[in-house]
Amino acid sequence: MDTNALLVLSAYSAAIFAASLLGGKLAALGTMTHTRTQIVMSLVAGFILGIAMFHLLPDSLDHIPGPSAIKKAVGWMVLGMVLMILLQHIFHFHQHDFSCEASDLYDDHGHGVVHAPSLFGVAVGLGVHTATEGIALGTSMRLESPYEDGVALAGLGVFLVILLHKPLDAYSIVSMMKYAGHSQRARTWTNVGFAMLCPVVALASFGGVELLGPEEEAVIGYVLSFAAGAFLYIALSDLLPESHFHSHDRGKLIVSLLVGISLAYVL
C-alpha cells in the first residue's frame, strides 16, 4: 500500500469530517437567506460540474481497457446519473434551501420547496450519496500523481468537491431534524455519524481496490465514470430548479456558476 497516498487521504478525510460537522453546526445557529444559499450552491455546483467533465471522465478513459473504452465510460456515467435520479425519486434527499424566501418563491409556482419527506428516507438517500462520494475519493487516490516524487494532487478534485458540498448535505439533514423537533443531542450524534461516513468509506475503498489485483485499473476507470455521472446529476439538480422557476439574482448566480467551472478547469 502506498503510504504517502494513505497519509494524504487521511488528511483529506479529516478535513471532510470537520467541514461536514461545521455544516451541521450552522443549521443549529439559524437558516441562511435564500440568495446566499443559491449563490453558494451555484458556485459549488459549477465546480462539481467542472470536476466531473474535466477530471473524472477523462481520467476514467485512461484506465478503462479496450477499444470500446469511450462507450463503457459513458455507460457507467449514465448509470451513475440514473442511480442518483432513482434515489431522489424514492427518498427526496437532495434539498439544501430551507429559507422562508425559498418556500414562498416555490409555492408561488405550486412547487413546495420544503417537502415533508421522512427523515429515514433522507438519511438513506444522503447515506448512499455520501458512500458514492467516499468510493470516488478512495478510488481516485489510486491514480498516479502528476509529480514523480509525491501524491500531493492525487484525488484533489474529488476531495474539493466533497469538501465544498458535504457541509450543504449536513446542513440539510440537521435542519430537517431541527424542524421535526428532534433534540439537540440526537442532532449532534447524527451530525457526527454523518460526518464520519464519507471518510470511513473512502479509506475502505482505498484499501479494497488494491485487493483486486490485475482488475484494479479497469475498476478504477469504471468507478470514476460512475462518479462523474453521479456528480453531474448533483450539480444539475442544484442548478436547474432555480433557473427554471426564478429570474431573481440571475446575474449573481451565473457569475457564481462560471467561477465554479473556471476553478475546476484551472485545477
Per-residue model confidence as pLDDT tens digits over 92-131? 665 545 454 444 444 444 444 444 456 677 778 888 888 8
In whole angstroms, what is the distance from residue 221 CA to residue 75 CA? Answer: 12
Range of lowest pLDDT (14-23, 112-121, 161-170, 194-203): 112-121
For residue range 50-97, list pLDDT tens digits in order.
999 998 899 899 889 888 899 999 999 999 999 988 888 887 665 545
Please state whether the predicted TM-score (pTM) of the whole model is above 0.85.
Answer: no
Q: Is the pLDDT of residue 229 over 90?
A: yes
Amino acid letter, residue 64: I
Average pLDDT over residues 43-49: 90
Please answer whether residues 242 and 97 qualify as being in contact, where contact means their C-beta atoms are separated by less than 8 angstroms: no
Report how far apart the first and last C-alpha atoms of the chain are (Å, whole number). 27
Per-residue pLDDT at 18: 94
Q: Tell me which range, 24-33, 174-183, 215-224, is most confidently predicted by mean pLDDT.
A: 215-224
pLDDT at 65: 87
Look at residue 179 in the predicted model and tell me its pLDDT.
77
Q: Say what the alpha-carbon torsion angle 164, 14, 202, 152 is, to the nearest 10 degrees.
A: 80
Looking at residue 28, its pLDDT comes to 65
Q: How many angstroms separate the Cα of 5 from the Cα of each of 54, 67, 264?
A: 22, 30, 22
Torsion-angle region of 154 (φ positive above 0: left; ψ -120 to 50: alpha; else: beta): beta
Q: Say which range, 9-13, 224-228, 252-256, has the weakest mean pLDDT.
A: 252-256
| pLDDT: which is higher, 121 or 246 | 121
pLDDT (0 to 100) of residue 73: 94
| The three cell numbers locating residue 196 | 464520519
pLDDT for residue 166:
87
Residue 213 pLDDT class (50, 70, 90 cuts)? confident
DSSP 113: S
Residue-level pLDDT at 258? 92
Q: Above 50 in pLDDT, residue 228?
A: yes
